Structure 1
Amino acid sequence: MASEEASLRALESLMTEFFHSCTTNERKREIEELLNNFAQQTGAWRHCLFFLSNTRNEYVMMYSLTVFENLVNKMWIGVASQDKMEIRSCLPKLLLAQHKSVPYFIRNKLCKVIVDIGRQDWPMFYHDFFTNTLQLIQSPALAPLGLVMLKTTSEELACPREDLSVARKEELRKLLLEQVPTVLGLLTGILETYWDKHSVIASTPPPSPTSGESVELLGTLFQGSQYSKLLCQPMAALDNDSQQLCCLVLECLAHLFSWIPLSTSITPTLLASIFHFARFGCDLRTKAKIGSFISSNSSSSNGQLNPGVMPPTSNGGGRNGQQSEGNKVDRARLGVLAMTCVNELVSKNCVPMDFEEYLLRMFQQTFFLLQRLTRENNAHTVKSRLQELDESYLEKFTDFLRLFVSVHLRRIESSPQFPIVEFLALLFKYTFNQPTHEGYFACLDIWSVFLDFLTTKIKSRLADRESVLNRYKDALVLLLREVLNRIQFRYNQAQLEELDDETLDDDQQTEWQRYLRQSLEVVAKVMELLPSHAFSTLFPVLQENLDVYLGLQQFIVTTGTSRRLNISAENDCRRLHCSLRDLSSLLQAVGRLAEHFIGEVFAARFSDALAVVERLVEVTCYGSQTSLYDLETAVPSVLKPDLIDVHAQALAALQAYSHWLAQFYSEVHSQNQTQFINLITSAVDASSPLITAKVPEKLLLSACHLMVSITATVRPVFLVTLPAVQNIFNLITTENQTRRLPQEAHMLVCRALSNMLLLPWPNLPESEQQWQTRSSNHASLLAALTREYRILRGTVNITPRQPGLDDMKAVIKQTLPVLRDIVDSISGESTKSRQICYQSLQESVQVSLSLFPVFIQQPDVTDEMLAFFLTLFQALRVQMGVAFTGQIIHTFLSMFTREQLAASILQEGSAGCRVVQKFLKILQVVVQEPGQAFKPFLPSILSLCMEQVYPVVAERSSPDVKAEMFELLYQILHQNWRYFFKTSVLTSVQRGAAEDTMENEAQFTAAMQAFGQSFLQPDIHIFKQNLSYLESLNSKHKLYHRKLFRTSMLFHFINVLLQVLLHKSHDLLQEEITLAIYNMASVDFDAFYSAFMPEFLNGCQGVDTSQRAVLARNFKLERDLPSFTQSVQRLVNDLRYYRLCNSSLPTGTIKL
């Protein structure tokens, strides 16, 4: 005894020293080693039992419990049965004796250790484990402790970790499911008892000013519902202990609901009880009324019942104010937990027939709460009511609404007992009174899901489309109007000013842009359902703001060279700012709706679309003519960006209608085109003056994008003859670096000009395309664009310090991206367009090839060159011809020496690395080319891949180069299968057919080894890519059936994939790996079961003979995928479990 006392004091001293701020890391490591050595001793648990009974030191308690936890979870199989009995007896006694005096986290840890024992031994060796928990719950004084045990049991036994065999996991789940009705009955009883005990039912409640409205609005929900009266009862006034106990019950229920199936065990009474407590979340956090809900003598219970939630118990009683605040938080927490329970049930998509009625009842009860949340009275508006509520409660409630609409609306919507229109009215009030932006976003998402549901429903029921729409029309009209109001500063300035419009999120948009985008998505979805109404709502609002913008001309004052906007009064500036911001948003809205005017509805909605396009053309011309972006203003930091943004958005909105303009063009091509010509001419006149380096870049880019869309989508014949277009040609083709546009704008304009000359004109036969004229014009355009670049042709060699090197690099980096963009933009076009493009480019391509060896040591330049060649190979390889393409490949293969490649690859993320990637991409294009033209290059490409690139990347991460190299390898195998296997697929799979005729076997084997090696490395992306490549080769070429693969590789691959599953290194790919194992095994199931499995199990380390026999017996000889998958999962789980058990046995243990 004395020695144990001494050990305890020493341990306390060590623990205190370990956690002291002055202790060095070196000393901490020494203490840690001492403690680990002590814990490994046989019988250490006896000392720990003494420590737990005789110390108040929290560190010592925690350490002792960790020793027990380790013993139970890792060494239990090797503990003597007498010792196990003693531990099973002592720990629950210790818990009962000390649960009130120890901190909550110690109590919870002790509960978990006892539950871990139950996980191993219940019911065979620990038959009273669960009954003890149920008895605790039924004892008033010990109910909180019983509930902590129950929740821990649900967490640890229902979804156990992998340290159990599959058979034991299934047994535990079955045992728990048998107990569910009893447990739910007990928990229901507690909730009912406490509600009834504390309900304050006044004999004559005062009349409510809103009661009439409540009954009227959702009266149909509760006709014949026995719960309607219950839900209308006054709230229970729970004391502190009762609240904590009910919180624990609801936590238990939430976890139970996460795994038990929906069934009649979840009774109507239980649901009603949960909803009683959900009402606590609807309570306002007002200080005046809170006193009546708190019993004056309530005090905190001894230790927290829930870790991390309740504040620590103080020695002295808190002041009333603090108590009230704490109590309000606890009451809100009851509501949050109740809604968590509801959401667990509602999130289940699989609903048995006998549970559908319960679901309906749940929705009825939740909408009673929704009605309470959105009720107005003299004291509170809906918004102020929601602002007063606990944020977590509102989040849970919104989650419920989302789950209801996305998972269950299709089940409930047609029920006569569910008033869907009244529900939408409540959801509307709830949405537009949200106190936070995030809450509002979440509600908009719910509306989006609802609108998708409605659109799908209407498409599937075209016959009664109108009746369905009429049912919802009022709701949709209100929604549209309110969402439009919410994006306008005119109605919502205070909230919109709060939104950040500078910081970009992960999706590269600001908070304001996200707000606007989500709002406009809802507007667009309503437009799809109610097109004419949506348009007649939006267009007048747009007109109103446009009138303000178009009226600004009268306020422009010119003095000398300066022009200013003569609006300076603060109020006027503020109103103008709001109007311009709104106009910008409404222009985006109009652009977003463009898709609803084309296709089948073009004719029906023609006049509306024409009105929009004419207005947009008018406003863009006005903006460009008056140069509003160039004005001096009273508040330049605000109004100038506003004016630029409106102009840019008007151009972008007009661009959105380019598909409509293209359809208009095709409809009128044989009629009077005056109207169309005027629109296009005006649009070009609006864009042309903005294409200059003096214009703000945002506006310049909008004008360039509009020009690209007109030239690529609309393609009017007369475009090239317009004076404005001639001006752009002159700007781009004259030598003047000072007037040069920024690179992105320059590229866009060049693309637009090239499109005009290369793309076929719509609605005209080939004979009227004027290809000859257009071809010579295109040649002139590209000659002008590449003038400086072609001068570099004579360059033979360069030195790093050569004067003018930077200028040469600048010319290359300016020219090649433009050429690449032009080629890219016609890659999907007709042969004629690509032919003309290549003729114009031919000289520049030859210059590039001659410069490539010169700049091989300049990776930033070769990167640009290879990007250009890659685009050429992808788009114009036919036009380049076999001979020249061969010359290019030959040049590249000779330039990229092994040393060159290695040096580039080793600099991960560098320009050199990108060069190698692009080179491999070019080779991918080459090996995919059908026909025999490029087959002679296959040996050298394979050699480069396997002998030069692979050795460098094999043992390094090099993810980017690796990905491209393996894709190249896959394309070589897939597109050139007959290079390795001469026989056809058909003959190879016919039984009795001659075996494969194999060629280039060494290269094939090396490629397969490279794939196999990649499965042993940690990069999950390469693993996934390569696994999919093997599966693809199998589905297309029967790879796994080939004799060479089947006899010398198949089992190696299966073994590697099983080892990956065992090591859990690529857990995200479990399904893909198991499917691949199945496909490989299915080549010859007999061989897999009779040869591979015994060999695999015999080779498994860390398991004994009897365990191997169990593993073999449990792997069922099934041939269908689901059963096979189950067997693989079971094998992996149980093999890991046996290893864990065996590694934890004391040395010298004899296993029976």
Structure 2
Amino acid sequence: MQDNESVLQEYQLTLREIGSASTSNERRRQLLENMPKLDSISDIEFLCHILLSENSDLPVIMFSIAKLENRITSELPFAEPQRRRHLFQTIFNLSHSYDVAGKPICAVRKLMSIAANITRHSDEADAAEYFLMMLEMITCEKSRPFAIKLLKVSIEEFVESNRCKTLPYERLQHMKAFAVQQTSQFYSLIIELISKKLAAFLPCAYPVREVPPGFNISSVLEQFISVLKATNDSFAKAVRNNFDQLTLELSCLGTLVRTVEADSLVGDHSLHIIYVLAFVGLQLTVQPMDPTCLDISELAVSCLQQLSERQWSLRSVEKSEMVFFLASVFSDLQRAPQSLDVLQSVLITILPTIKGRLPNSRFQNALRLLHLYANCFYAKQVENIPSGFLHNQLVCLDKSQHVDTCRTFCECWASMLDAVILRMETVANKQSAQPASYLPEGFCAAFGLALLRKLALFEVADEDDEPAETIEWFDSGSLPRFCLELLALLARVDINSQWHIVMGEYERTAASVQRCIVEVFHSGASVPFNNMDSSEVAQVNDQLRQYRCVIKAACCLTGPFDAWNCGDHFERCYEFLTRHCEMTLLLTRSFFNKPTSIYGVFEEPIVSTMATALLCFRSYSPWLSSCYADAQQSGNRNVEVSLLVSTALNAVTAVLRDSQFCGKLAQAAVLTLRSILLTIRPHSFVLSMNGIQSLYRQSIDGLYKCLPDDIRNALYVSLANYLILPWYNAVGEEQEWSQRKPVYEQLIRSILADYFAVVDAEQSVPYEMAAPVIKKAAPLIVALLDSIENESAVTKRTCYDVMRLFGKGTLSLLVLYKQHLDCVQSLLELLSHLLRTLIMQFGVDFTKQLSCTLFDLCTSTDFFSGLQADTKEATSVLECFVSVLSTIVVQTSSKFSSLLPEVVALVIGPLFNAVRKVSLALLNLQQNYE
């Protein structure tokens, strides 16, 4: 048998060769296969001997520790108590010697973790002795660093690790609870250690035994800042001298508060120590700060973040003084003379040693801390929030201009407002609920004004980057969008203050735009801007931009106006929309259906303003729908509400009649038209309006074919569906089907005239001529069908009466152009939606004919050869096949059950052969198919 020294040498050499970059994979495999032959390396004492060898490098150490852990883990469930104690002492001594010798920290931590795992398998008496030993070691200055590291690893192993497979679940949970109980006693000890190191700068020793009068975190921080101003260098020196110990203690404290109940920190004001150290890196009063102080502060902030994520009891939340600490932080930040987004280049020149830890990053840290706290606890303390805190929030918002800072601020306050709203809704659902104010009305009003100012500033930058042909107000992650979302949340908390603020701004900006139109565009000059200098042009653009901002803000206030309370807010909404109608009419009469020369440099701002004005009606459509339905039932305010609807429709039709505008303004007009016609569904007076009649007539005459496909299709779907969807609160002859159905048939035949021509042609149309027609008509037909998929049988029957005319013809086209996958894809998609929406109307015969056509198509050589190209188009074709067949299979009516054999034959026969030929990249299709 080999002696230990030769085995050790062979073992080390083998591991070094395995870890060498020059070792080939083949050689590495051979070495690994030979490793089991070294039987004696499984012995725990021998592995410890290897780990204590001075010749062992890191790969040898980590591999040996891994084998040691496996060996101990396999032995622990069956070991006697005396054996477990021996194993623990062996590993404990090994980890201590590694720590003293300065071995890699990863090796030390792993050995500590093994020692903690051995203790977790011990009885409670041995485990209690283990924690008592750590407590005694921490009180000894010489052994303290090692003991604190061991405590941190032990907490993680006992409380956070669930990877132990050698203990039953119940025992694992019991030992976790036992460890939590044992480690809670370390809070006061670690706090006391930190307090002693910084005693010269603190108002008292912590933990506090006797609380003096007026003792709170605000006063503590105020005294600390005074001391810091006078002794900044001394404080920095104290931190530098104790940096390693403070780092260890705060890091361990962070692990404690993350895993162990922290309510005990509240009772003796131990949190003050963490607050003070966190405040060092969050304040701007004392500058510059030593980098070591900022490092310690970041650890303290991390502790507070861990605390904020814990679910404390309400009593602990109230006594934690967290909100008063945050109030002090933001009070200090708002007193900073410079913007919170001060240029980094300037500060880097002054503070070259702390680059990356500048005031704006401190503000970010403060906001993140506030954000975490708000998510869990803000609503619990909303009545106790100091007014100064709210005021400081407004000042900080004004002082922050940087994108990241403002975004974090908005996210933070969105969380706080969400918490307040949730509490409001919870309280409101209680039977004995009393009206309550959750935020001061003055603060809500001031906050709303600040957000409007930010919105105006951010929109300037946003419009510079905005594509010219989009009507999206703002991208989902943009700052203006954040401002609008925050304004909407504020409105849910206090609609009265936000409505008053926004409507006041609306009236101011609307009056400004009115004056601008009169003075600039109605001045009598043929080209009004010729004599304007750049500052005057900028002023006009700014007035229009402000007006647009306020309209968008007004649209955010529609959230509280739902179907249940539209009557409560009728007067204010009606007053606003009446005023908005006046402004929309002014814009329409001033700028549309007139020569483009009158716009000049103002064309883009005018188009954007009109688009925003129209989209405002779209936002208020749900409220208008509720009010219109109520007016139809009661007869109250019927004329007034109908006038609002007709005014909005007149503005839309005026824009659509003006052929100069085919971009975002036309899109805004179509979207607004769709909302009014299909959300409100006004009655017959709409059909008698000149503008609407003209819109139908021009659509039938093909005047809107020049519009982009998506806008044109949305227009046609809106006009078509208004004719076949039931009007709300209309019964019998009031629906006027006899007047609407002929117009619908005429409209559909007209907008699909080219497709009908291809379908009805006596001779086959060449592919080059038919393909553009099919690919243009298919998306429109799909949109028409999708929009009524969940509607009534009356609506579907009217649609079917027109669509049935090209049903069989579409099947013929499918066979005719089977070798052209682009046409096949469009036709299959059309048939898929046709079947999904109107299968009951088309019936069994047509569906059977469709399945037979698909079977013939799958067996066609021309079609099958096209699928072999293995393109995205081929995949889409097969997906359409599956979609059509799945629609047939899911039918519950017994009439369609006779088609199942044919569908099954197609699925397991030619279609399966086609699907399995696709490449691995299209595996998703195969899974869906199966």
Normalised TM-score (structure 2)? 0.81
Residue 889 (structure 2) aligns with: 927
1:433 CA displacement: 5.1
> Aligned AA for 1:331?
I
Q: Does 1:841 align with 2:841?
A: no
Out of 448, 457, 461, which is 1:497 matched to? Answer: 461
Q: Does 1:733 align with 2:700?
A: yes
1:257 CA displacement: 3.1
> Aligned AA for 1:810?
P
In the alignment, the residues of structure 2 paired with residue 259 and residue 55 of structure 1 have an alpha-carbon distance, to the nearest angstrom, of: 37
User: What are the residue-to-residue correspondences of 1:210-249 with 2, within 5 Å?
Assistant: 233-234=223-224, 237=235, 238-249=238-249
Residue 74 (structure 1) aligns with: 70
Residue 1140 (structure 1) aligns with: none
Distance 1:119 1:660, change over 3 A: closer
User: What are the residue-to-residue correspondences of 1:322-401 with 2, within 5 Å?
Assistant: 324=290, 326-344=291-309, 347-348=310-311, 356-362=314-320, 364-375=321-332, 380=337, 383=340, 397-401=366-370
In the alignment, the residues of structure 2 paired with residue 156 and residue 898 of structure 1 have an alpha-carbon distance, to the nearest angstrom, of: 66
User: Would the aligned equivalents of 1:339 and 1:397 in 2 still touch at CA under 8 Å?
Assistant: no
Per-residue CA deviation, residues 98-153 of structure 1 (Å, 9 max, x unaligned), is 535536xx123223134225414656499776566445433313322222222222
> Aligned AA for 1:42?
D
In the alignment, the residues of structure 2 paired with residue 53 and residue 635 of structure 1 have an alpha-carbon distance, to the nearest angstrom, of: 85
Distance 1:118 1:657, change over 3 A: closer
In the alignment, the residues of structure 2 paired with residue 497 and residue 172 of structure 1 have an alpha-carbon distance, to the nearest angstrom, of: 57
1:537 CA displacement: 1.4
Residue 689 (structure 2) aligns with: 722
Residue 110 (structure 1) aligns with: 108
1:488 CA displacement: 2.0
1:810 CA displacement: 0.9
Residue 1142 (structure 1) aligns with: none
1:653 CA displacement: 0.8
In the alignment, the residues of structure 1 paired with residue 263 and residue 636 of structure 2 have an alpha-carbon distance, to the nearest angstrom, of: 69
Distance 1:547 1:632, change over 3 A: farther
Residue 668 (structure 2) aligns with: 702
Distance 1:375 1:503, change over 3 A: farther
User: Would the aligned equivalents of 1:556 and 1:566 in 2 still touch at CA under 8 Å?
Assistant: no
Out of 807, 811, 822, which is 2:769 matched to? Answer: 807
Query: Which 10-residue stretch deviates more, 759-768 or 674-683?
Result: 674-683
User: Would the aligned equivalents of 1:617 and 1:679 in 2 still touch at CA under 8 Å?
Assistant: yes
User: Would the aligned equivalents of 1:866 and 1:915 in 2 still touch at CA under 8 Å?
Assistant: yes
Out of 870, 888, 910, which is 2:872 matched to? Answer: 910
Q: Does 1:684 align with 2:652?
A: no
Per-residue CA deviation, residues 627-663 of structure 1 (Å, 9 max, x unaligned), is 4899679996xx6544332221111112222334444
1:241 CA displacement: 4.6
Per-residue CA deviation, residues 889-910 of structure 1 (Å, 9 max, x unaligned), is 4433443449899888887772
User: Would the aligned equivalents of 1:108 and 1:148 in 2 still touch at CA under 8 Å?
Assistant: no
User: Would the aligned equivalents of 2:152 and 2:252 in 1 still touch at CA under 8 Å?
Assistant: yes
User: What are the residue-to-residue correspondences of 1:407-422 with 2, within 5 Å?
Assistant: 407-409=376-378, 411-412=380-381, 418-419=384-385
Out of 574, 581, 594, which is 2:545 matched to? Answer: 581
Out of 737, 753, 766, which is 2:732 matched to? Answer: 766
Work out the percentage of aligned pairs sharing the same amino acid.
Answer: 16
User: Would the aligned equivalents of 1:761 and 1:769 in 2 still touch at CA under 8 Å?
Assistant: yes
> Aligned AA for 1:610?
Y
Query: Which 10-residue stretch deviates more, 157-166 or 229-238?
Result: 229-238
User: What are the residue-to-residue correspondences of 1:604-619 with 2, within 5 Å?
Assistant: 604-619=568-583
> Aligned AA for 1:718?
F
User: Would the aligned equivalents of 1:527 and 1:534 in 2 still touch at CA under 8 Å?
Assistant: yes
Q: Does 1:156 align with 2:157?
A: yes
Distance 1:591 1:907, change over 3 A: farther
1:775 CA displacement: 2.1
User: Would the aligned equivalents of 2:817 and 2:823 in 1 still touch at CA under 8 Å?
Assistant: yes
In the alignment, the residues of structure 1 paired with residue 8 and residue 526 of structure 2 have an alpha-carbon distance, to the nearest angstrom, of: 93
1:521 CA displacement: 2.8
Distance 1:101 1:248, change over 3 A: same
In the alignment, the residues of structure 2 paired with residue 201 and residue 679 of structure 1 have an alpha-carbon distance, to the nearest angstrom, of: 68
> Aligned AA for 2:111?
V
Normalised TM-score (structure 1)? 0.66
User: Would the aligned equivalents of 1:284 and 1:389 in 2 still touch at CA under 8 Å?
Assistant: no
Per-residue CA deviation, residues 1056-1092 of structure 1 (Å, 9 max, x unaligned), is xxxxxxxxxxxxxxxxxxxxxxxxxxxxxxxxxxxxx
Q: Does 1:865 align with 2:865?
A: no
Residue 654 (structure 1) aligns with: 617
Distance 1:203 1:790, change over 3 A: closer
Residue 788 (structure 2) aligns with: 826
Per-residue CA deviation, residues 540-581 of structure 1 (Å, 9 max, x unaligned), is 212322334344445768999996744753433444444333
Distance 1:748 1:499, change over 3 A: closer
Which structure would you say has the larger RCO, counting Cα contacts within 8 Å and 6 or more residues apart? Answer: 1
1:705 CA displacement: 1.2
Distance 1:509 1:270, change over 3 A: farther
User: What are the residue-to-residue correspondences of 1:136-151 with 2, within 5 Å?
Assistant: 136-151=137-152
Stretches of structure 2 lacking an aligned partner (at least 5 in a row): 205-210, 229-234, 345-356
Per-residue CA deviation, residues 704-762 of structure 1 (Å, 9 max, x unaligned), is 1122222223334133333333433343333579x522111111121122134223344
In the alignment, the residues of structure 1 paired with residue 519 and residue 263 of structure 2 have an alpha-carbon distance, to the nearest angstrom, of: 73
Residue 421 (structure 2) aligns with: 452
> Aligned AA for 2:38?
Q
Q: Does 1:440 align with 2:405?
A: no
In the alignment, the residues of structure 2 paired with residue 483 and residue 149 of structure 1 have an alpha-carbon distance, to the nearest angstrom, of: 50
In the alignment, the residues of structure 2 paired with residue 439 and residue 261 of structure 1 have an alpha-carbon distance, to the nearest angstrom, of: 29
User: Would the aligned equivalents of 2:796 and 2:838 in 1 still touch at CA under 8 Å?
Assistant: yes
Distance 1:173 1:772, change over 3 A: closer
Per-residue CA deviation, residues 8-52 of structure 1 (Å, 9 max, x unaligned), is 99689869963xxxx6xx647746865785597334588876776
> Aligned AA for 2:815?
P
User: Would the aligned equivalents of 2:94 and 2:111 in 1 still touch at CA under 8 Å?
Assistant: no
Distance 1:421 1:370, change over 3 A: closer
In the alignment, the residues of structure 2 paired with residue 432 and residue 199 of structure 1 have an alpha-carbon distance, to the nearest angstrom, of: 38
Distance 1:734 1:500, change over 3 A: closer
Provide the secondary structure at the position in 1 that maps to 2:185. Answer: helix
In the alignment, the residues of structure 1 paired with residue 464 and residue 170 of structure 2 have an alpha-carbon distance, to the nearest angstrom, of: 52
User: Would the aligned equivalents of 2:611 and 2:668 in 1 still touch at CA under 8 Å?
Assistant: yes
Q: Does 1:599 align with 2:567?
A: no
User: Would the aligned equivalents of 1:863 and 1:918 in 2 still touch at CA under 8 Å?
Assistant: yes
Per-residue CA deviation, residues 875-930 of structure 1 (Å, 9 max, x unaligned), is 32333234334433443344344989988888777233333333333333333434
Provide the secondary structure at the position in 1 that maps to 2:846. Answer: helix
In the alignment, the residues of structure 1 paired with residue 910 and residue 74 of structure 2 have an alpha-carbon distance, to the nearest angstrom, of: 54
Residue 759 (structure 2) aligns with: 793
Distance 1:632 1:608, change over 3 A: same
User: Would the aligned equivalents of 2:217 and 2:324 in 1 still touch at CA under 8 Å?
Assistant: no
Q: Does 1:643 align with 2:641?
A: no
